[in-house]
Amino acid sequence: MTAQPPLLYGIPFSQPVRAVMWLLLYKRMPFRMVPISPGSKSDGGSRSPAYLEKNPGGTIPTLEEPDTGLVLGEAHAILCYLSNRHGWDDVYPADPGQRARVDWYLHYHHRNVREASVGLVAPKIRKDLNIPEVIQQAARSGFARALRALDTGWLAGSSWLAGDRLSLADFAAYVEIGQLQPEFTNLFDFEPYPNVRRWLARMKQVDAHDDAHAVLAALGDISAEAPSMEAIKDANVRGLAVVKQRVAGFA
């Protein structure tokens, strides 16, 4: 019996979804995207009863394996699970010490680098969230501190975040940091962070980067004017089409 490909619920514009999506593309593992609109209670939304049965937290992404029945939420848990299940030691080292360095960053990420989405991206694309300015400012400050830590610490003596090779830490970090580059949303000035800039350039050379980030290329610069919901929808449609085409080539 032919194994059924896993299902990945979410949309390409979501940063955590994009991390899992990119890893699967990088490892050339067939999968199927199931579009889920974040925050929506309607059918196909992350707050719909059907989706909440799978992921009670109502977040994206969610991974579902039809063959095993496994359903798993939270991007970092999914990244680690996939690597454990399929023996992807190249991105999640088997050595406990090296793996711990990857885990270190994955745990650090949430209230630090992840603040890029809260303070810079969400206010542009999710006006409905009404994020108070004080929260936005705190998030922007937190993100800047995190970038300084990456620039003067993790990346000061290493090409990659968790050592001398690409790892899950880099995938998780780039989807947040990389989205702000001039060729994408253009929402942050990276000039003061030379080591981060060098790392960003390396990450652009990682296989499937362009496919995973087609959604951002389609949306373009949003620094001067917030995109319409129609523009965001169209960008997600483009991103899904590119991913589907790439996965079709794995057969």
Q: What is the 3-state secondary structure (H, E, C) of 103-126?
A: HHHHHHHHHCCCHHHHHHHHHHHC
Quick one: pLDDT at residue 126? 78
**Confidence bin at 133 (pLDDT 50/70/90):** confident
Task: Read off the pLDDT of each residue in 84-106 and give the average, rounded to a whole number.
Answer: 98
Strands annotated E in the chain: 7-9, 32-34, 62-64, 71-73
Q: How far apart are CA 41 and CA 73, in angstroms?
A: 18
DSSP 10-37: S-TTSHHHHHHHHHHHHTT---EEE--B
C-beta of residue 213 within 8 angstroms of C-beta of residue 184: yes
* DSSP-derived pairing of the beta strands 62-64 and 32-34: unpaired
Give the global pTM. Answer: 0.96
Separation of alpha carbons 80 and 21, rounded Å: 13
Q: What is the per-residue pLDDT for 123?
A: 85
Q: Which tokens belong to 190?
A: 């990276």
Asked if 52 and 95 count as a contact pair (C-beta separation under 8 A), the reply is: no
Which tens digits make up the pLDDT trace of 151-205? 999 999 999 999 999 999 999 999 999 999 999 999 999 999 999 999 999 999 9
Cβ partners under 8 Å of residue 248, min gap 6: none
Average pLDDT value for the chain: 95
Q: Does residue 124 register a pLDDT over 90?
A: no
The predicted pLDDT at position 53 comes to: 96
Report pLDDT for 132.
86
Q: In the predicted model, what is the mean pLDDT of residues 82-95?
A: 98
Dmax (CA) of the chain? 55
Across residues 212-228, what is the average pLDDT? Answer: 95
Flag whether pLDDT at 209 surpasses 80. Answer: yes
pLDDT band at 122 (very low <50, low <70, confident <90, very high): confident
Burial label for 43, CB within 10 Å (0-12, 13-18, 19+), is exposed
Name the more confident of 75 and 2: 75
Mean pLDDT, residues 60-76: 97
**pLDDT over threshold 80, residue 1:** no
Nearest to 128, CA basis, from 188, 47, 19: 47
Q: Is the pLDDT of residue 2 over 80?
A: no
Residue 150 corresponds to which tokens in the numbers above?
């990456």
Question: Whole-angstrom Cα distance, residue 244 to residue 141?
Answer: 37
Angle between helices 75-86 and 168-177 (to 10 degrees): 150
Average pLDDT over residues 200-218: 98
Residue 130 pLDDT: 79
pLDDT-derived band at 125 (thresholds 50, 70, 90) equals confident
C-alpha–C-alpha distance, residues 211 and 176, integer Å: 16
Sign, CA torsion 180/188/155/96: negative
Q: Is 62 left (phi over 0), alpha (psi -120 to 50) or beta?
A: beta
**In this model, does residue 127 exceed pLDDT 80?**
no
Residue 239: the pLDDT is 98
